[in-house]
Amino acid sequence: MKSILVKGNVIFSGFVALFIAWFFAEGAIGDAPSLTPEFFLILPIWAIGVLLMWRFVFKNKLENTSYFKILLSNTLLWLTIPIGLKFAFQFI
C-alpha cells in the first residue's frame, strides 16, 4: 500500500506538473499563438523533488516508514509545482 501511495503520487503529480507547464507555456486564451518556454522550468524543479523523494524512499525503507512521513513527503513533492511556477514567473 505504501509503495502505491508513493508511485501513484509521483506519476499523478508529474502529469499535473506537465499539464500546468504546458498550459502556461501556450499563453492565455485569445493571445497570439506563441510559446513561452520559461514555464517548462516547472519540470526540472519537480524532477528535483522526485529525486529527493527517491532518496527518501531508498534511505528509509517504506516498510519501516510511517504513513505520516509518506504523506508529508508527498505534500512536499506537490509543493515543488508552485515553487517552479514562482521561478518561471521571475524569468518572464
Using CA atoms, how far residue 78 sits from 14, 28, 29, 32, 81, in Å, is 9, 24, 26, 31, 6
Per the structure block, which three cell numbers stand in for 48? 528535483
70 close to 87: Cβ distance less than 8 angstroms: no
pLDDT tens digits along 33-74? 667 788 888 999 999 999 999 898 888 888 888 889 889 989
Q: Model pTM? A: 0.83
Has residue 84 got a pLDDT over 70?
yes
Please tell me the distance from the alpha carbon of residue 29 to that of residue 42, in angstroms, as a whole number: 20
16 close to 74: Cβ distance less than 8 angstroms: no
